Amino acid sequence: MVSRRSGGWLCMLSVVGLVLSACAGSGGARDPDDRRYVERGLAASEQRSAQGRPVGGSAMDRPPVMLRGEAISWDTLLPRLGEAAGALAVEEVVLERLLEGECARAGIRLTPEMLERERDLLVSTMGEAAGATTAQESERLLDRVRRERGVGPVRFESQLRRSAMLRALVQDQVSLTEEALRLGYELRYGRTYRVRVIVVGAAREASAAVRRIRAGESFGEVAAMVSTDDSAARGGIIDPINLADTSWPESIRRIVGMLEPGGISEPVSVDQGYAIVRLDEVIPAPADRPSFEEARTSLVREVRLRQEQLLMARLARRLLDEAEVRVLDPSLGWTTR
């Protein structure tokens, strides 16, 4: 897809994706199980490090499901669970073990305070992005999103652990230069462009789409019919683009800056093939935006977080790419090929 690049689920529960997928409404308070699983996870990690083996239990000896008095065994359930979510589970566990090794070599030891900071950071960032005005609203949003995404206390604790380890490993690489802060100011307060795109695989398809549009067909209708981008169902509409945002392809940003409202580009090359861009509207910078100096304090926090997340994603991807993982269970192999 032509939309902005992402580090995926490796570093943190994607704040933007979570907020966009959540709707206003009621939710629960902070899950009391979170702290219990955080403490249990720390203890399990320390025991793994000390003994060199995973911590086990007797839970697998009990049937996980009863149907009208008849047990459904783990032998029946596990292959289906592996096929349904094996790739994600393998990636999460493998990454966690790799990060434990990296932290041990770096002399980094996780503490409950580090995990609490990760949770607080996630809650506050989600709340800010969603416009929540109180901590209770942010907690309800997190609770709702977790329930919608099926992120229970075990996986949530594991996610906090991975994020805390990644952040601790990359924190010395963050560089808060004046240039980075000014870029952050432009990203937050600068002009943005509302656009539509059509993405196709071949140059001849792109040229044909341009001819149809110039002959009078609606850009949105052509996008819905031929575009391979996720935005096709929305008539090609994507998130507004800030030309300073390098998460968008450079070819797209360059052509957007050259168009007038209502203008349609010639096909431009993108990773997925060829894109055609229509500029719908230029959204000017807010008239009441603060000066750079007035915004400096908040920019430092924002730019640090952005750099940390980028470095965390790169580190996680590198560790997984370099890991020698052999998937031995056939059901897990179904989704990890």
pLDDT tens, residue by residue, 260-287: 999 999 999 998 899 999 999 999 999 9
In this predicted model, what pLDDT tens digit does every residue of 297-317 receive, in sequence order?
Answer: 999 999 999 999 999 999 999
Sorted by where each begins, the domain ranges of the chain are 15-58+75-176+305-336, 191-283
Give the residue from 12, 310, 6, 4 showing the smallest Cα distance to 149. Answer: 12
Q: Whole-structure pTM over 0.75, yes or no?
A: no
Tell me the H-state helices in 217-322. Answer: 219-226, 250-258, 292-322
Cα(12)–Cα(118) distance, integer angstroms:
9
| 323 contact partners, CB below 8 Å, separation of at least 6 | 94, 98
Are the C-beta atoms of 44 and 55 separated by less than 8 Å? Answer: yes
1, 22, 26, 135 from 140: Cα distances, Å: 32, 11, 7, 9
Cα(183)–Cα(241) distance, integer angstroms:
14
Cα(232)–Cα(327) distance, integer angstroms:
36
**Phi and psi for 193 in degrees, rounded to 5?**
-130, 125
Predicted pLDDT at 8: 37
Cα(213)–Cα(197) distance, integer angstroms:
12
Look at the domain 191-283 and name its fold.
Chitinase A; domain 3 (3.10.50)
Are the C-beta atoms of 309 and 11 separated by less than 8 Å? Answer: yes
In this prediction, the residues of the chain whose per-residue pLDDT falls under 50 are 5-30, 32, 37-38, 49, 51-56, 337
Q: Which two tokens stand for residue 171?
A: 């924190």
Give the other-Cβ count within 10 Å of 239's Cβ. 15
Predicted pLDDT at 84: 84
Predicted pLDDT at 159: 94
Give the residue from 297, 12, 240, 242 showing the smallest Cα distance to 126. Answer: 12
Cα(175)–Cα(178) distance, integer angstroms:
9
Predicted pLDDT at 14: 41
Length of the chain in terms of residues written: 337
